[in-house]
Amino acid sequence: MVTTMRRLSFLLLSFGIATAQQTISVSNAASYSNAGSVAPGSLIAIQLEPQPSEPIPQIDPSTVSVTLQHNGVVSPMKLTVVSVNGDALRPVIALLPASIALGNAQLTLSYNGLTSPPAQISIVPTSFGLFTIGGSFGPALAQQIGGNRALVRNQLTHPAKPGDYVILWGTGLGSATQDQVAVMLGGKPTSVSYAGAAPGEPA
pLDDT for the residue 170? 93
pLDDT in tens, 137-149: 778 888 888 777 7
For residue 7, which phi and psi values (nearest 5 degrees)?
-65, -40
Q: State the pairing for strand pair 37-38/119-123.
A: parallel
Is the model's pLDDT at 7 over the cut of 50? no
> Based on the number of CB atoms within 10 Å of its own CB, is 108 exposed (0-12), middle (13-18) or buried (19 or more)?
middle
The pTM for the full model equals 0.81
CA angle 17, 43, 190 (to 5 degrees): 145
pLDDT for the residue 92? 95
pLDDT bracket for residue 18 (50, 70, 90): very low
Domains of the chain (ranges; CATH) run 2-124 (2.60.40.10), 130-190 (no CATH)
pLDDT for the residue 136? 62
Helices (H), 102-196: none
